[in-house]
Homo-oligomer: A and B are copies of this chain.
Amino acid sequence: MVYFEEISLQTVGFSDIHDLTGQISAIIKRSGVSNGLVNVFGIGSTNTITIVEYEPALVEDVKDILEKLVPSSMRSRHSETWGDDNGFSHMRATLFGCEVTAPIENGSVVLGTWQQIIVIDHDNSSRTRRVRVTVMGE
């Protein structure tokens, strides 16, 4: 059985981070799937789906490590060529990935107590983000 929904959310860019776990859990309930997998996929080339303990200090730590590994001031041929200045956003998305697949048991996503599924908008302006949630199982 396959079921999907899309989450739409407003983001402000520059590695803006939102917790999606509650919405994903609700979609799994509506799917009626008891056991299987859920795939969470960020539609767009400058966003990341990953997992972190969603608490304010770690959210800031994630922004710091992104800035350290892929600085917003990095030289980018993409930015130079197209003038949209978001080469760093693309690189952050490619490095951290845009999807997570997680197990479902008894109608709930299987996560550690401190694991939340998040979206990071790496782009350099506010926008509407679309995240596709696909539930497969029985």
Instruction: State how many angstroms separate the Cβ of A106 from the closest Cβ of chain B.
Output: 11
Tell me which residues from 71 to 126 in chain A have a Cβ below 8 Å from any Cβ of chain B: 74-78, 80-82, 87, 90-91, 93-103, 105, 110-112, 114-115
Instruction: State how many angstroms separate the Cβ of A125 from the closest Cβ of chain B.
Output: 15
Question: How many residues on chain A are close to B (CB under 8 Å)?
Answer: 59
Determine if A43 is an interface residue (Cβ-Cβ < 8 Å): yes
Chain B: CB-nearest residue to A112: B44
Residues of B within 8 A of A57 (CB): 76-78, 80-82, 87
Residues of B within 8 A of A50 (CB): 94, 97
Determine if A25 is an interface residue (Cβ-Cβ < 8 Å): no
